[in-house]
Structure 1
């Protein structure tokens, strides 16, 4: 039997536990094996009638070298400096309803511990997000949700800030492609951690382009010093050992790991609404709660959710009761986020 909670004995959702029993985790220190297994298991979902899928490519650029100072004080390039290309091209997978104007764009950042995952693995989820929330937000069908998923560079091939550079470049391209359309960031695990890093790098004007942030089971801190890391250190689905491997891969030797979580003192007036979902049974639970607290204390409109019995990697398992609960919670959040963004723009 897979030990979901390590040495702890928490309540675990039986549906999710059965899924893990049938699909044992393959996270280990050999990232090549992890990637190969994921590729072998992937089957590209067919497009339903009336949908289009397109891969767009953008040249990635380096981020400023100065450290970010906080949510409302992002790093800025030196005066008169020209952006420096990284030499990488980033694929951005865009899925939309054919012939229907974009009402909002969901920028979907995949997880995978910063060392695995691909944008294409999110296609099935993106199709479901479009179908689910387009009908809810625009029941008359006059607009629809669009998804855009960046295939960012993975560690250890490209340590920090390689993946962040690609993600920031892709987001800025989305701002240009969908001018005048609200953008919502969506991330899971390392994808949510990438959101945390991204928010600290955007200018106030760029933050104002965002309507909302959806962060599921966020992987945020390389310190790994919270109570939940101690309680669930031996959990099967994201153990301390797996987390240590992931963070060691993400950072080049000698890198200041604290750069990815600068203090948050005050958010800007145009800071997006934030939805954070944590798992009760998860090494990462307490760092997600701490992020919520920091954002709330800094003035953000942020909400925190935890659903009984969920654990890392399966909070948003397609077809599960937990995913249905997540979607139910996201409906009013997205409606509020889009409405407030439109109100801010007058």
Structure 2
């Protein structure tokens, strides 16, 4: 694999006009680079990741000269952008424009890869043909998450002896992923679990992480919430297996409802019980017996699930077995094979 870096600064925390300028700048630089490389190498396939979808037009020259183009829909742009602006009229206008560029982009490409059934359903509703799409989930990568690192199943309650009962969250720390919900749930559960602790790691929006720190102090649970610096990928398994339960407290909004979080696959693969918001996407992947689903609008729902799993280690054990079964058809090796078959079909090899 060769990586060609382009001189573009990313402005994810800035205003939408700043973000749009960043996207357009990258589109132009990427189009120039891809054209240069294609002249030298004559690619069979150009695979473009959104967001935004219109980055597919960076592959215009390869498309004209016979290459096949894949658009990888990691996020549905209209739903994502609609939660980034305030005001109903602005939100409606931005969603309409995002839907229009999505339609142009999906029409331009030869095939679309997406990461789950909720995204596929939306694209079908917006006119993308079924035979033009392939679902390839973002599975847990075995070399980073070796199966031999799975902890033994919980068989008895050892936490009453004073060892901390550890909740963990790993991943991006922004408002839509609901860490404030998890922190409020911890505050409600601490009277029932004196040794409860929530460990958090990941890249964060500075303003939101400051808010979370202030919230823990305001709730009087500073010693029960630990903010870790972002850790390298090769150390992520250590973080996951050190805890007792993983928590995925996504907010109740049109975008988060569609997300299939990779962290849930990693937790299921490494036999860690999962407490999660009962979103449409999560329920499409896991059975109710596999994950403790909660109401994302009520921290009390998460607190009840934390207390229940703390008191019943046998339930935690049965959940991890079932979640692992649910994940089995979507393992990395199977998704990789599906991707290889797609590339072979598009390149006629």
Q: Same fold (TM over 0.5)?
A: no
User: Which structure has the larger Rg?
Assistant: 2
- Which structure features the higher share of strand residues? 1
Q: Normalising by structure 1, what TM-score?
A: 0.30
Q: Larger relative CO (CA 8 A, sep 6+): 1 or 2?
A: 1
